[in-house]
């Protein structure tokens, strides 16, 4: 048996020798947090790299979501997707908002605008959509429903660092977008995240909210919280940014290998590549149709695990299946058939900057499951 352990993602640690001079400089400056030199430098670099004018660094992606919703001063119900990481819905509850789950589109697995439209009530104040796996939402359709009902739109772009559509950052849609820089995400500050806003006033709002609501030395104007990113993590992020493109090209190669070799496997499908979208290649979900494949999703998951290949069932169960949400009227699985099927069929295959073609070949051969149906 091959002894190598292969996980679904692996953090790309920046070379220590590149990080150490920055840490030495922080030690000299003795400025550790509160909008320090490296925090400002990283906001500037990210603003340029991602092509977004207004970006606020925060301590993690969940706080980015909570603060973005807070800044938009929402009330009542917010329409969202059940097919995401739990933090998406949790951020609504932390703002006293009621999540209303609607089903996703079968091609993108992102919110379906026509189903959003059908779920709007007089209490609806916003749509919280997710570009799941970095696959872009139907932003035109979502925008049109939102405009006709006066709803705000927030995009959870935790998977969409540096994703572009028709030459434009995917982060420049809706009222705000958020990013996660957790160690498992393609770009990392260990823990961290950001809110991308659309005007200098909105950025100021977020910057105040993440710093206790302090407006100046003698005044506090909103009940903010503490969601600041510190200097050590900002320095880590600056070095990581230099290595993002290289790691992405490794992931691209692996993703293309999977696409090429899994296309002919009966009962296994994967998401389509969309013309005009520049992907970040951070996830490679496959969907196992047991009737055609001959084995269940969990049988394949177990087969990979036996060989120390740890895929992940992102996103199973659905958020709406978890105890805090399952009693909501909108959580009924029969009303979410596309999301429910995806959750029951999905395995994310390993995809990260430390895989090589031999790893991908082994994984493909296991998925092909030749001669044992
Ligand atoms: C990772 C993730 C988050 C939360 O980000 P953290 O930085 O871990 O708090 C939110 N939404 C989605 C879709 C995620 O994958």
Query: Tell me: the pLDDT tens digits for 75-95?
Result: 999 999 999 999 999 999 999
Q: Is the CB of 62 under 6 A from ligand 1?
A: yes
Residue 371's pLDDT band (boundaries 50, 70, 90)? low
- Measured CA to CA in angstroms, residue 19 lies from 22, 159, 247 at distances of 5, 25, 17
> Strands 124-130 and 152-156: what pairing?
parallel
Provide Rg for the chain, Cα atoms.
21
> Can you tell me the distance from the alpha carbon of 44 to that of 161, in angstroms, rounded to the nearest whole number?
16
Q: Is the CB of 156 under 6 A from ligand 1?
A: yes
Task: Give the pLDDT mean for 348-354.
Answer: 95
Q: Is the CB of 344 under 6 A from ligand 1?
A: no
- For residue 372, what pLDDT is reported? 56
**Token duo for residue 108:** 């993108």
> Can you tell me the distance from the alpha carbon of 58 to that of 266, in angstroms, rounded to the nearest whole number?
44
- For residue 4, what pLDDT is reported? 86
- For residue 176, what pLDDT is reported? 98
**Token duo for residue 33:** 């947090």
- For residue 3, what pLDDT is reported? 75
Q: Which residues, including other chains, have CB under 8 Å from residue 99's CB and lie 6 or more apart?
A: 77, 78, 80, 89, 92, 93, 128, 319, 325, 328, 330
339 CB-side CA count, 13 A: 29
pTM of the prediction?
Answer: 0.97
- Measured CA to CA in angstroms, residue 305 lies from 138, 232, 301, 356 at distances of 35, 36, 6, 18
Provide the residue ranges of all domains of the chain, joining segments of one domain with +: 16-102+109-239, 243-367
**CATH level 3 topology of 16-102+109-239:** 3.40.640
Residue found under tokens 């059908």: 118
Residue 80 three-state SS: strand
Condensed to tens digits (0 to 9), the pLDDT of residues 4-24 reads 899 999 888 999 999 999 999
Q: Is the CB of 193 under 6 A from ligand 1?
A: yes
Residue 370 three-state SS: coil
Contact 175, 198 (CB under 8 A): yes
In this structure, the number of other CB atoms found within 10 A of the CB of residue 208 comes to: 19
Condensed to tens digits (0 to 9), the pLDDT of residues 215-267 reads 999 999 999 999 999 999 999 999 999 999 999 999 999 999 999 999 999 99
Longest CA span, the chain: 74
Task: Give the pLDDT mean for 164-188.
Answer: 97
Has residue 162 got a pLDDT over 60?
Answer: yes
Has residue 210 got a pLDDT over 60?
Answer: yes
- For residue 294, what pLDDT is reported? 97
Task: Give the pLDDT mean for 288-306.
Answer: 97
Residue 122's pLDDT band (boundaries 50, 70, 90)? very high
Query: Of all protein residues, whose CA lies closest to atom 10 belonging to ligand 1?
Result: 87
CA of 133 to the centre of ligand 1 (A): 11
- For residue 184, what pLDDT is reported? 94
**CATH level 3 topology of 243-367:** 3.90.1150
Range with the poorest average pLDDT among 27-36, 135-144, 362-371: 362-371
Residue 145's pLDDT band (boundaries 50, 70, 90)? very high
Task: Give the pLDDT mean for 270-294.
Answer: 96
Q: Is the CB of 319 under 6 A from ligand 1?
A: no
- For residue 12, what pLDDT is reported? 82
Condensed to tens digits (0 to 9), the pLDDT of residues 46-63 reads 999 999 999 999 999 999
- For residue 94, what pLDDT is reported? 98
> Can you tell me the distance from the alpha carbon of 85 to that of 90, in angstroms, rounded to the nearest whole number?
9
> Can you tell me the distance from the alpha carbon of 310 to that of 322, in angstroms, rounded to the nearest whole number?
23
Residue found under tokens 């600041």: 228
Has residue 1 got a pLDDT over 90?
Answer: no
Q: Is the CB of 85 under 6 A from ligand 1?
A: yes
- For residue 35, what pLDDT is reported? 97
- For residue 312, what pLDDT is reported? 96
Supply the DSSP symbol for 350: P
> Which residues are 127's β-sheet partners?
79, 153
Atom of ligand 1 nearest to the CA of 184: 1
CA of 29 to the centre of ligand 1 (A): 32
> Can you tell me the distance from the alpha carbon of 73 to that of 141, in angstroms, rounded to the nearest whole number?
23
- For residue 169, what pLDDT is reported? 98
């Amino acid at each position: 048996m091959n002894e190598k352990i292969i996980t679904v993602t692996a953090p790309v640690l920046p070379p220590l020798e590149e990080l150490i001079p920055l840490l030495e400089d922080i030690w000299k400056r003795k400025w550790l947090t509160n909008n320090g030199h490296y925090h400002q430098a990283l906001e500037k670099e990210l603003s340029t790299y991602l092509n977004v004018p207004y970006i606020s660094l925060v301590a993690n992606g969940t706080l980015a979501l909570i603060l973005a919703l807070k800044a938009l001063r929402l009330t009542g119900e917010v329409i969202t997707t059940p097919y995401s990481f739990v933090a998406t819905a949790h951020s609504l509850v932390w703002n006293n908002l009621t999540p209303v789950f609607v089903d996703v589109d079968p091609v993108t697995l992102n919110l379906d605008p026509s189903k959003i439209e059908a779920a709007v009530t007089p209490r609806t104040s916003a749509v919280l959509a997710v570009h799941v796996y970095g696959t872009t939402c139907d932003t035109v359709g979502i925008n049109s429903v939102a405009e006709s009902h006066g709803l705000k739109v927030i995009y959870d772009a935790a998977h969409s660092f540096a994703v572009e559509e028709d030459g434009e950052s995917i982060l420049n849609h809706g009222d705000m977008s958020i990013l996660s820089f957790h160690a498992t995400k393609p770009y990392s500050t260990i823990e961290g995240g950001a809110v991308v806003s659309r005007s200098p006033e909105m950025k100021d709002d977020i910057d105040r909210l993440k710093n206790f609501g302090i407006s100046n030395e003698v005044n506090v104007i909103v009940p903010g919280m503490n969601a600041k990113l510190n200097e050590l993590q900002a320095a880590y992020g600056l070095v990581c940014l230099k290595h993002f493109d290289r790691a992405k090209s490794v992931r691209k190669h692996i993703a293309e290998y999977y696409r090429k070799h899994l296309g002919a496997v009966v009962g296994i499908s994967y998401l389509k590549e969309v013309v005009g979208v520049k992907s970040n290649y951070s996830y490679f979900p496959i969907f196992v149709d047991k009737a055609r494949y001959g084995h269940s999703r969990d049988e394949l998951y177990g087969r990979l695990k036996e060989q120390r290949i740890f895929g992940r069932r992102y996103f199973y169960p659905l958020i709406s299946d978890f105890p805090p949400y399952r009693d909501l009227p909108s959580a009924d699985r029969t009303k979410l058939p596309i999301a429910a099927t995806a959750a029951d069929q999905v395995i994310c295959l390993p995809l990260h900057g430390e895989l090589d073609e031999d790893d991908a070949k082994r994984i493909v051969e296991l998925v092909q499951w030749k001669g044992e149906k």
